[in-house]
Chains A and B, each alone.
Chain A
Amino acid sequence: MAKEYAKDFSFQELMATAASRELKDHETVFVGVGIPQLGALLAQRTHAPNLTLIYESGVIGTRPARLPLSIGDPTLVSGTYGIFSFYETFSLLLQRGFIDVGFVGGAQVDKFGNINSTVIGDYQKPKVRLPGSGGGCEIAGLAKRIIIITPHEKRRMMEKVDFITSPGFIDGPGGRERFGLNGGPSAVVTTMGVLRFDEKTKEMYLDTYHPGLSIDQVKQNTGWDLKISPNVKETEPPTVKEVEILRKELDPQGIYLKKAVT
């Protein structure tokens, strides 16, 4: 059956759908609230029914009855199949290598996929003090692959981040290997498109741009000379069914679907 695409959708719905399509059935995914959680829950209701959702609060295999408002929401607990302590979550799950995919976000992302969620300006004299790593650094370093979610603005998509909180490819080829890290970022889902990383240079390039936007607009909103895939095309829109699941089942109050992506 041919897919029936939605005609009317928001960029939040498009981002959640794009995030969902990055996930495969039977994978374990470390999620946070917002777009990542919507993406993972959408995947679970469509092509990946056996996706295991794990939160850094230690909740494993959750199927929340309502939309969780934080990574420690009590709805994550009721009906989940397991709960690990804080230390166990990071050591027995993440360090031991059981996480296939991790979602990471931050205030700044650079062309090698490094993420800053610590500070704008100088670390010891911060202009803006951000929340810090949380689990971000370990998720980015130890999950088998990473999906980055970010608004697409010139001041946030930059040549070099002010501070590396969570590692992408660090300074390019061989960057992760120097620190004994495998994996790395595989996709960046932004408010303007989906970006991926060149296998040789480890630099981010534009793979698809969201419907209604031009490649030039994406380039203008990127803080370095963004390379474009030779096969660049429009991002696949959400289907009617995906939009319906997002609006009616997952986020009927529009808590994340109507909120600015941060």
Chain B
Amino acid sequence: MLANEEIAVDVMMAVEAVQKFVRDGQLVCFGGFTHGIPFVIGHEIIRQRKRHLAVCKETPDLLVDQLLAAGCVDKLMFSWAGNPGVGSLHAFRRAAEQGIPHPIEIEEYTHFITGARYMAGASGLPFMPVTTPVLSSDLAKYSVVLKTIDCPFTGKKICLVKAINPDLAIIHAQRADREGNTQMWGILGSNREIAMASKRVIVSVEEIVDSEIVRRDPNRTVIPGFKVDAVIEEPWGAHPSYSQGYYDRDNQYYIDYEKTTRTREEHEKFLEEWVFGVSNRKEYMKHLGAERMLSLKTKSYYSFPVDYGYFG
């Protein structure tokens, strides 16, 4: 239950949201799946030098790699840690292979297991039953989130996946209203599940819109406003990942990142340039440059309006 004074959603800046809601040692879940990686909040966490975080993200992407490089993370829960479509995540590999900048605890899943942990947490269940081939995989030997029981109905073996209820979910979406009702289209990832599973939710959006815009298209809402603690309006907040209909993925950035973060020293230089060297998203976008931004703008491809009917 939310306490009374916390019901109102605050529209705020990323810097305030991180100051207010992110604490050292928390279990933090990042949303997005290639689409809508919440870089704007993630970079603010790095700048504010948060420490000892446990991070859960099915695909850590460049953002969690940067949190690892910056020494923010003590424990990583994940199912696929790579630079999507490009190659390795170097900070992840340095941490896992050499304990640089410090050794991290790894808790590893398959995608379905990560999804099942979220769904159980979001549903208020202690576990989610799955028929999973993970028991035939060597991953099962190291897993602390799986149990096998005989199904009480069929007698067959079934796998139970432990729920996860993070302290904080951090999500980027296309739009929300001032009440925090958050709408997305395109690839949804686990955004609804992690928001519903977490104690607190911070959402950054491309734009804050009038409530009527949300209410005219309620099927597009992925998170109800009463579950959102802070809304941050931050155009381009997902760069270098993308926001469907707003801008494309900056693929060159992903390719350059792979090449320029191969050593710890190079990685620190990268963070200096793109995270510590700018104080907010506006400066970050200025550093990226107008020409690069223009090249990422997508041509429009509108859906047709649907008729919900009016009963007034």
User: What is A's interface to B at a CB cutoff of 8 Å?
Assistant: 33, 56-59, 69-74, 76-79, 83, 85-87, 90-91, 94-95, 118, 123-124, 126-129, 131-138, 140-142, 163-167, 170, 175-176, 178-181
- B193–A85 touching, CB < 8 Å: yes
Interface residues of B in 172-220 (CB under 8 A from A): 186-190, 192-193
How far is it, in angstroms, between the C-alpha of A136 and the C-alpha of B309 when the chains are bound?
Answer: 44
CB distance from B90 to the nearest CB of A (A): 11
Chain A residues with Cβ below 8 Å from B244 are 74, 77
- B81–A131 touching, CB < 8 Å: yes
Are A74 and B249 CB-contacts (below 8 A) given A118-B138, A137-B139, A179-B135? yes
How far is it, in angstroms, between the C-alpha of A120 and the C-alpha of B185 when the chains are bound?
Answer: 38
- A179–B133 touching, CB < 8 Å: yes
Chain A residues with Cβ below 8 Å from B118 are 87
CB distance from B156 to the nearest CB of A (A): 7
How far is it, in angstroms, between the C-alpha of A175 and the C-alpha of B135 when the chains are bound?
Answer: 12
User: What is B's interface to A at a CB cutoff of 8 Å?
Assistant: 33-35, 58-59, 78-82, 84-85, 88-89, 92-93, 96-97, 108-112, 115-116, 118-119, 130-139, 142, 156-157, 186-190, 192-193, 242, 244, 248-249, 251, 298, 301
CB distance from A246 to the nearest CB of B (A): 19
Q: How many A-B residue pairs have CB under 8 A?
A: 168
How far is it, in angstroms, between the C-alpha of A179 and the C-alpha of B130 when the chains are bound?
Answer: 13
How far is it, in angstroms, between the C-alpha of A78 and the C-alpha of B245 when the chains are bound?
Answer: 9
- B80–A57 touching, CB < 8 Å: no
7 more CB-based (< 8 A) A-B contacts, given A58-B33, A133-B109: A70-B249, A72-B33, A74-B298, A85-B188, A129-B92, A131-B89, A137-B134
How far is it, in angstroms, between the C-alpha of A129 and the C-alpha of B100 when the chains are bound?
Answer: 13
- B111–A86 touching, CB < 8 Å: yes
Are A86 and B186 CB-contacts (below 8 A) given A118-B138, A131-B82, A163-B138? no
Chain B residue nearest to A95 in the complex (CB):
B131
Are A170 and B136 CB-contacts (below 8 A) given A70-B249, A131-B82? yes
26 contacts between A and B (CB under 8 A): A33-B85, A70-B84, A72-B33, A72-B34, A72-B84, A73-B85, A77-B186, A78-B301, A83-B186, A85-B193, A86-B190, A87-B115, A87-B190, A91-B112, A91-B130, A118-B139, A129-B92, A132-B80, A132-B81, A133-B108, A133-B111, A133-B134, A134-B59, A142-B131, A166-B133, A170-B136
